[in-house]
Structure 1
Amino acid sequence: MAGQSRVVILGAGESGVGAAKLAQQQGFDVFVSDFGVITDHYKAALKKLSIAFESEKHTEDLILNADEVIKSPGIPATAAIIKKLVAKGISVISEIEFAKRYTNAKTICITGSNGKSTTSLLTYHILKKAGLNVGLAGNIGQSFAAQVATEHFDWYVLEISSFMLDDMFKFKADVAVLLNITPDHLDRYDYKLENYAASKMRIIQNQTGNDVFIYCADDEESLKALKNIKPQAKTYPFSITKKVETGAFLENDTIHILIEPNNELTMSISDLALQGKHNIYNSMASGIVAKVLELRNDSIRESMGDFKNIEHRLEHVAKISGIDFINDSKATNVNSTWYALESMSTDVILIMGGVDKGNDYNMLKDLVKSKVKAIVCLGKDNKRIHDAFEDDVDVIVNTFSADEAAQIAYHLAKRGDTVLLSPACASFDLFKNYEDRGNQFKAAVREL
């Protein structure tokens, strides 16, 4: 029909297919284009909705006639097709920006170099348990756009990456959380930390005095960035090294959270479900969100004490001879493995491999160079992993069972290292599914 706006979606993963669903529902002429291979699951979803798509190519005639383009966070601004769109003055936005136009739900947006997923899941758990009508989306779970199309939530907890923020312009977070800024993805930011930091600070763009900004007062880069950008929102810092007047701080192994006078939440760190220094920060951030929303102290305490991180997602299995074993079997694509490596603060022995879905391992290269001592391949055909990383790590070993992988990784690791199962691949060559792979790995670790 005449006058129907054309929306082109680049990338047919969770966010792209979700955006396609919402765009179609809103009456747009929708076309999806993916330069990589579209998985069968997402192909089926697009076919079911009768949405036109192409795989393994970008046909310029079908893309450069768009009124607006929604791009996957994984596509850099330097990609040829993006440059052409920008040159033509065609608006390029993220799925999050697009979806927010069609919902009145309030948003709690969580970003940071490390801890985003855990903090998002914990915040969602606290809100849901307190009886709020809340959804979870962004970098985690089901796409935000797909949920806006099919659900009616009052609140959303959104895990937001810097790549998403780069394509968000009019979007406003009602509650913004910045956990930390550490050197990361600098290849996307001209190798300048201040560019990456500026990207993270977009989490507070468009905020007003009615909104809330929560940040870590112990994080050097966040503080540096805040010297140049003054938040309009009410700010609540959290710290484990010093007392703060409003926000959260640690004293004698007790967390204190104070948003207004005479209503303080205190909780011993030994009662937290999530242990470890980085998780004190994550728990504080989630706790401040809960207090800002005026949830009851006993409800918040209970949720912070009984939270379970998703099984097979950065799940701590055991510590043996000073070596941590982490099961991230749910990481069936390169993106997820990238997040897992990003969150590691020690040297890593990485167990990866399986059914390779046309993976582009380039995005892992910098993290592998900086953090990975050895790669243990777990799969029938590991050639592409060898080809991708042979220049970046000294040791790449092939294994064909979870037992063998766990044993070899244990021998390659030394005290203080982390053995991380984060495959970046599907599991069907050696296992029933990713759960089976994770369970076999956990059993193998416990046998060590």
Structure 2
Amino acid sequence: MFEDLSSKIESAVQSLKGQSKITDVNIAETVREIRRALLDADVNLEVARQFTDDIKERVMGSDVLTAVNPGQQFTKIVYDEMVKMLGEERADLAVANTPPTVILIAGLQGSGKTTFVGKLARYLKKENNRNPILAAADVYRPAAIDQLKTLASEIDVPVYSINQKDPVRVAKEAVSMAKSLALDTVIIDTAGRLHVDEKMMEEVAEIKKAVNPDEILFVVDAMTGQDAVNTAKAFNDTINFDGVVLTKMDGDTRGGAALSIRSVVQKPIKFMSTGEKLDALSPFYPDRLAQRILGMGDVVSLVEKAQKEFDEDQAQKLQKKIKSDKFDLVDFYDQIQKIKKMGNITDLVGMIPGADKAMKDQDLDEDSFKPIEAIIDSMTPEERHDPSLLNGSRRRRIAKGSGTSVREINELMKQFEQMKKMMKTMTKMNKVGRAMEGLKNLPFGRQ
């Protein structure tokens, strides 16, 4: 989402780094370029102005002009101010002193609210060992209750619903049921509209009054730009929510809402959603997003995701295979499945410093793996374990069986051999940084 903004800010800062001497004149020009980049990204005008004014004030009031490396010090100030704009620290969800914790979800129709309810339930169950129940209080939208039940069935979580259009009753009875079943969390999905209206606001306010939630989250579609900021302000004025959830952060938009919303409503962003799948939800860390926008990557989040999917014993076995040159297409296929489980591929690449540039011309999505999987699936077990068996006739047979071409098989085998060499080098050197040299050769997509 922030590729264009990241590129423009990096370009502005880079021009400053290239100066033999930094003065108040070229600092002012760089700050103007940053402000222009923010406005182009649809950041709120007042937020952009305050952000760049704060940068300029800190730069001019510090030792940047006489620093040994003024460019780096300037970058550090930009980073600090961006973290401040995004909220400084991770804000956790509230937990009730006496269970159940009641979480009320509000937002416009089409913002991804119901899907988020399912994602949040999965997150709390998996990451916090919580036992949630979902309250289907969106009683107007056709199939809203069915959608919630479908999502809940995927994560084995109960849903409370009734055959009446009484959302307040649904919310109250869901809380009562949670108490009777000793469930510790109630997540209430409320109705939305296509735009802010008085009836919707009154209904959410009534539910809030009836159940006295411990946490109210406002879900906003990050692709709606400045409208998202205006909607957040309207909701906050009515229900005084506790935090914001940004959905569709994997979309191809300018992302200004994500940078503006916290400053405008003065409420923390608590979660980001980066896809349709139930595991595509991440806690919001202001410093990590700031790092990504400034092209520094987000290695901490990448490592956290990897640790969840890669078993240490399996990693050691794989390392032995690589050392003894026994890494084969079965292992290769297995690593692809693990990478896919880690989340959105584009999002993962964005976490690696510099990788988004290195792989800029590649088609990065989960579908990119399908031809590779089809090719390996069309091989015999012997061929997967010993790729040297793949002569011309075997490759033609595999191409026919996988719906690909011999050229694609040749390209895959070339990438596989390059990856083997790279992994062997990394194992010998024991330095993850070496992976950067081989990023362009990883089969994330076809050019």
Fold agreement, TM-score > 0.5: no
The TM-score by the shorter chain falls in which range? under 0.3
* Larger relative contact order, structure 1 or 2 (CA cutoff 8 Å, min sep 6): 2
- Report the structure, 1 or 2, having the larger helix content: 2
Task: Please report the TM-score for the alignment, with normalisation by the length of structure 1.
Answer: 0.26
Task: Please report the TM-score for the alignment, with normalisation by the length of structure 2.
Answer: 0.26
- Higher Cα Rg: structure 1 or 2? 2
